[in-house]
A and B are shown apart, each in its own frame.
Chain A
Amino acid sequence: MKKVYCAHPLMAFNLMKPFLFVLVLPFLRGVLQYLTDREVTSVLGIELILFGLITLIGVLRCRAFRLIISGNSVTVQNGLLFTERATIKISQLSSVQSNQNPLDAICRAVTYSINTEAGRKNQTDFTFKLWVKDSREISTLLYGDGQPKEFKFSVLKVAVLAATTSSAFTGLIIGVPIINKMGNLLGMALDRMLLDEINNASNQFSLYFPPIINVVTIIFLLGYSVSFIYSFLKYINFRLFLGKKKLEVRSGFFTRTRTSFSKDAVNDVRIEQTALMLLIKRYAMKVSIGGYGDSKSESEVIVPSGRHGEIKRGFAMYFPFLEPDGRLIHAARSRITKNRFLFWPALWLIVLLIISPVLVYLFTDFGRVILFVTLIALALIFCYAYICLVEYKFGKIRLGDTVFAHSKKMMRTCELYCPKENVGEIKITRIFKDFKYNTCRVKITVRSESADSIRVRMLNYADVKSEIYKCYRIHE
């Protein structure tokens, strides 16, 4: 059966975008003419002709677009004079994603993306606009029909995810350009006004620390708030649809996103816990899909937040084929091993305790600022030490048909499940005391576009080596 789909007329505007720069040329000509002759002629006429031509090209290219689904392949055909025709086997698709912004919603359109492991990094392979009904039909044709089971997640869970994964830096990166653009648009110095307000607010508190600390703290809190709101709106209305072979994630408020992918396209599954989640004993489940989207990572959240038992039950239900097997290898339960895990936090603590008094002695005027920074650094070091202890207690690997590893990644803990065929590299490193205690650190890197990796420390070298050889049937 062969099905042919055309593009939504809104796509013509997207196809016009690359040519819009041409409209600048008559304007430049007009400016030059005014500078030399003190008069401007026929700029509007040329602009109109060029705009008409660009519109015509956009409309014709939009009309030439075809998406053909026949048998086990998808064909994407576009271009008017310079035609492109890509044929992809359905089994080679990583995921399909549909985004709908408010304008799309009014016009009954969606921005549809097809992702594979090929193509440019961090870029979707094919993006186009389709009618909503067509996009739904295509998703059904690609991943089969059937009644997928729907899982809803409460607003509270989404809020927990947003609160525990937001950061002040992300907020500043998102917020600052918005403030600048709004200021330019309104013709007001919004940034200056905001800074004055922050200054006023910081003067209301009279603490031991100098006013600059208040200003910085307020800026960080504002940044965090912006990041929280952004994440919250991104994940609100979070719903998971579980089919026989496919998973579909829907989320978003202003821009609604649907991501569908086959369970086979999943490179690895991660159960993560950030430092803030550690305090409230909550976890999030994410999957990594090859060639997924134009985001920097390939991750897609499957469960926004939940207790460990809840997440494990979900994992067993969604990915039963990824239940780990093989022998469990973990660090020896001894005081020496525990101390080795705490080596780096202890070293950082000693360095901090030496440097801080020296800095106070050298820069007497900045004593209170240095004390504040030292307190923040101390809090971070204790947090790091706690995560190292969690790593000592729970760090482990299993090497079977599914490779399982539990360890920490920077300031978060992570459980990684990955089919052994999807492992790109296993790296064993031994340094200094590893030779004395016959231990090693194992780094597992998943074969993917933005490769996920995890490192488990202080494992018995002989055990690890024999398990890897057994798992991958290597004979010396």
Chain B
Amino acid sequence: MTEKKLPVRTLLLWQIRVTVLFVLLGAVCLYFCSVYKWFWVLVTVITAVFLFVILWYLPRFIRNYRIKLIGEAVIIENGVFIKTTHIMPYSRMIYTKFFTTPIAKAMGLTSISLKAARSSIIMPEILVSDAVVLLKLLSKGGEE
């Protein structure tokens, strides 16, 4: 059995993404704050959610994410509040797809999506070198 975890860089990437989203949302809210005073409440809530996601949720999500390659199938375990386990037999896998965004590319990361008939599993970004190894393992049926 082969087990893989997500790298620390993935956490950093998602923290950057969430920060960009927070900055955009915050800018819009601050603009309206001069007109409507109650927008300050919204800004406070958004800041609290942002801090919670950045400092608590994302590190745990990334830490809990596990990719296991066993004899017959690939198993993906994830979740913080709700734990989910995806099991996809190798025989049912039709093709794999890599997806790279500009920031992920700069950090040497890529996300993988495993496609089967009527279903698919999308994994968060992993190192490109790991992705290539994973792809090879998947094509061999999980054996190193």
Hey, which bits of chain A sit against chain B, CB under 8 A?
79, 81-89, 92, 116-119, 121, 125, 290-291, 449
Contact = CB atoms under 8 A, between A and B. Distances in A.
26 contacts: A79-B100, A81-B101, A82-B99, A83-B99, A84-B97, A84-B99, A85-B98, A85-B100, A86-B96, A86-B98, A86-B115, A87-B96, A87-B97, A87-B135, A88-B94, A88-B95, A89-B95, A116-B115, A117-B116, A117-B117, A118-B95, A118-B116, A118-B117, A118-B118, A290-B117, A449-B118
A81 B102 contact: yes
B139 interface: yes
B120 interface: yes
Interface string B27-63: 0000000000000000000000000000000000000
A117 B120 CA distance: 12
Q: Considering the complex of A and B, which 10 residue pairs feature the smallest CB-CB distances, nearest first?
A: A118-B115, A88-B95, A118-B94, A117-B117, A86-B97, A85-B98, A83-B100, A116-B94, A81-B102, A92-B94
Given A82-B101, A87-B135, A449 B117 contact: yes
A86 B139 CA distance: 13
Contacts of A121: 118
B95 A92 contact: yes
Nearest to A73: B139
Contact of B102 (A82, A88, A116): A82
A81 B97 CA distance: 16
Interface in B83-121: 94-102, 105, 115-118, 120
Contacts of B100: 79, 82-85
- Determine chain B's interface SS by DSSP, over half rule: strand
B89 to A, nearest CB: 14
B94 A117 contact: yes
A304 B101 CA distance: 48
Contact of A85 (B97, B102, B139): B97
B127 to A, nearest CB: 15
A446 to B, nearest CB: 13
B41 to A, nearest CB: 33
Contacts of A86: 95-98, 115
Interface-centre pick from B95, B115, B120, B139 (highest chain A CB count, 10 A) = B95
A255 B77 CA distance: 48
Nearest to A116: B94
Nearest to B101: A82
A118 B48 CA distance: 41
Nearest to A81: B102
Contacts of B139: 89
Contacts of B118: 118, 121, 449
Nearest to B119: A118
Contacts of A89: 95, 139
Contacts of A84: 97-100
A116 B93 CA distance: 11
B59 to A, nearest CB: 26
Contacts of A85: 97-100
Interface string B108-144: 0000000111101000000000000001000100000
B99 to A, nearest CB: 5
Nearest to B139: A89
A357 to B, nearest CB: 51
Contacts of B120: 118
Interface-centre pick from B99, B115, B116, B117 (highest chain A CB count, 10 A) = B117
Interface-centre pick from A85, A125, A290 (highest chain B CB count, 10 A) = A85
A125 B113 CA distance: 14
Given A86-B98, A86-B115, A87-B98, 9 more contacts: A81-B101, A83-B105, A84-B97, A84-B99, A86-B97, A87-B95, A89-B95, A119-B115, A121-B118
Contacts of A118: 94-95, 115-118, 120
Nearest to A447: B117
A81 B101 CA distance: 6
B14 to A, nearest CB: 16
A92 B139 CA distance: 12
Interface-centre pick from B94, B98, B139 (highest chain A CB count, 10 A) = B94
B95 A116 contact: yes
A366 to B, nearest CB: 49
B90 to A, nearest CB: 11
A291 B96 CA distance: 16
Contacts of A449: 117-118
A326 B118 CA distance: 32
Nearest to A80: B102
